[in-house]
Structure 1
Amino acid sequence: MMKRSAQALRALPGILRKDLLTLEADPNGQAGQPRWLEWRPVIMVPLVMLAVVMLIVGTNQYAFEFGMGIQLGILFAGIQSGAFLVAVYRPVPAWWASMAGMVMVTPFATNAGSWDRIPWDGAYPWSGAGIAMHAGVLLLLALRVRPRIAVETLTITVLLGLACGASTPWRSAHDIRLAIAVLVVTVVVGGALRGLVVVRTKLVVQEELTAEERSRRTLLEERNRIARELHDVVAHHMSVVSIQAQVVPHLVENPSDELRENVEGIRRNAVDALTELRRVLGVLRSEDPLPQAARHAPQPTLERLDELIGNARGAGVDVTAETTGEPRPLSPGVELSAFRIVQEALSNAMRHAPGARVRVEVGHRSSGVTVRITNTAPVRPAPPTTGVGHGLLGMRERAAMLGGELATGPTPDGGYEVTAILPARPTAGPAGPDGPTGPAGPIDPADSADPAEDTR
């Protein structure tokens, strides 16, 4: 304990020099700075008026109560009032200026005898106005610096005040305890207010980090879901390729060795590819909360669209459907993505537009398929939702993955529209640093920044 105390005492001069011998506006950086600093030019107007009033009152007290005369009274009152204004921009230098004014008062003050007439005009070495101005300086300082610096300035202020007060033979007539109490309360209040600002700032930063992490987690969860579904589709087709390659030699009379070798190579490559696919995506399956039977169920296609719409109608939603064009063969990924986009859009309509009419349009073209889901304005307020939804994010991911396009947004009648254009065969979109990109650029969770999209 003694050794630690000795080390602390040896380090004290260096700490005080670092903390107090500075001309910086913000000795502890921008952390915990109050918002009112942004309005300093406006705040200075009432502060200047207050400083002028205190200058007049302080001049009168120094000149007549302290017996200094007008010139010295204006000088010392001006130093303290000016330090109060400077503290808005440079709190530590302003505190030094106010302290200098306090110390310089001591050799010029005389006992004019007026203390008996006025119950309390000050506590030597401060006048009443001097205490107010110095308390204001300490308040502005405590609002902007670390608590350690505020305690250091308060301690030095009290010690010097006691030393200056002890230098006069008539000090017993003036109780400095009230001045010390005012200064201590001022620093405590300033430190507490700054502490609230620091805590709120940290909370805001933490909320921003949490929201960003939630968005990233939402994106990863949706990509994992898409990966699981595509795994099922690709694994099925790779298995079919392997089986067909194995059967080919039995369908040809007297197959040549070259044919057998090539077919065996196809089968072997298909098996190897399937093995690698299962190895890479096996971790996704291990974390899948679905039952075993549901995990291996066939992935839905547009042929099951009537079943999906029937379920929505059974839930009380007024849904109409229309299919145009001649259906053409689509890749399994396109079929799955088109079905999932319609499914997500219907879910969003039921969740966010209670009582609205929904229309589903599927247009087949030679180049691909277009799905358009629109709903009218809700007839009653939607129940509140919690968290960040996956709907629009997943739709964008699916469309971008296939090289398609997705457009979402409100309609003029107060409803909402989702339109997806998917190619008949997936096209490899340019891969960005964070994943696939669509025609409009990288998929970014911030695209769902407005509240209406975050919960859809």
Structure 2
Amino acid sequence: MAVRLPRPHRFDVYAATAGLLGGLLLWGLGLGVRPAGEPFVLLGAPWVPLVPLALTAGCEVLRRAAPRAALLTGTAALIADTVTRGNLVTIMMYTDLMYAAVLYGPPASARRIPWITGLLTVAGAVVPYALWRVPEALLIGVAVGIVSFAPASTGLIVRSHREAADAARLRAEQTALLAEKDRVQAVTAERSRMARELHDLVANHLSAIAIHSTAALSLDDPATTRRALGVIRENSVAGLAEMRRLIGLLRDTAGDRGPAAAPTLDGLGALVEGARANGLDVTLEAEHGQGLPAPVELAAYRIVQESLTNALKHAAPGPVRVRLACGERVLRVRVTSPYGGKDGPRVPGSGAGLVGMRERVALLRGTFGAGPEPSPSDDSTLWTVRAALPLDEGDAA
């Protein structure tokens, strides 16, 4: 299988071309790093320095695409350059190869190369000085440090800064994603809360209006029609007032008007009286005490309100029982109504009421159940709504 060579970066091609042209210019002017007669110049032919120059320029093309291979090949070219007159551009391009190997190479290479070049720098200073015992021998270590350790250290510093910047950018993106997720969740929760409030506020009145208007249209009795129209008017006015209050709360952002107080269990009496006025036979047993958490009172009130609305729409004729009992840090709500076919006008349900009640109980980490069950007193069937609301969760909310 053919090996696909990495594609060089455009800037690296420009840098290699500029380095090659600059090296050729210095060679053409006869400028070398060492004199031709120096003992270390083993290859004195004029064209020989061009070979390491061309090889290093070729490595410069791959400084970003294959940094380790470019550095190894460039090191071999630099060693060959030391036994010729040399070319300053070859050394400069090699320092760039060392820098690129640390900056663009694998993390393991980026950690090892500065240590290796640091040891070579120390060895380049200590070993010649130990052999020759002259201060000038220390300059060999300085030259090795300038050519290898300095660019490697610079590449490591730049790489560390880039990684820190990438990590900070990633954290910022994650923070933005989490913030957006929190915003979406908050909007969803607020929309669900508004939907529950709107349903609980208006459904009872609209159900009564629908049932009584159907009765008024079905019965040819002026007295019955008049009573039905009276109930319709009362529920229309009450529903309109509730809608205006809710819309006012949603629109009011100036702070010049405080929000209306949330319903409490003290209002259950009025709620039951309204259900009786709509035709339900309702009895209330409340043993809840005082000082309950506001979220628990609101949830219990809405559960009773929705249960009475469902009884008005769907229950068969018969008594409706509402019972609240508080004990063991739990408020228990139970509403029963006759289950079976209803004689008279019916109102179709969407199921949103049960969903809203279940959501309210879940927010307080309570338990909720609704469904038919046998009556303990006779052979009839009751539709029972049960809810257990922990008072501790209400305090936390």
TM-score w.r.t. length of structure 2: 0.45
Please identify the structure whose Cα radius of gyration is greater.
2
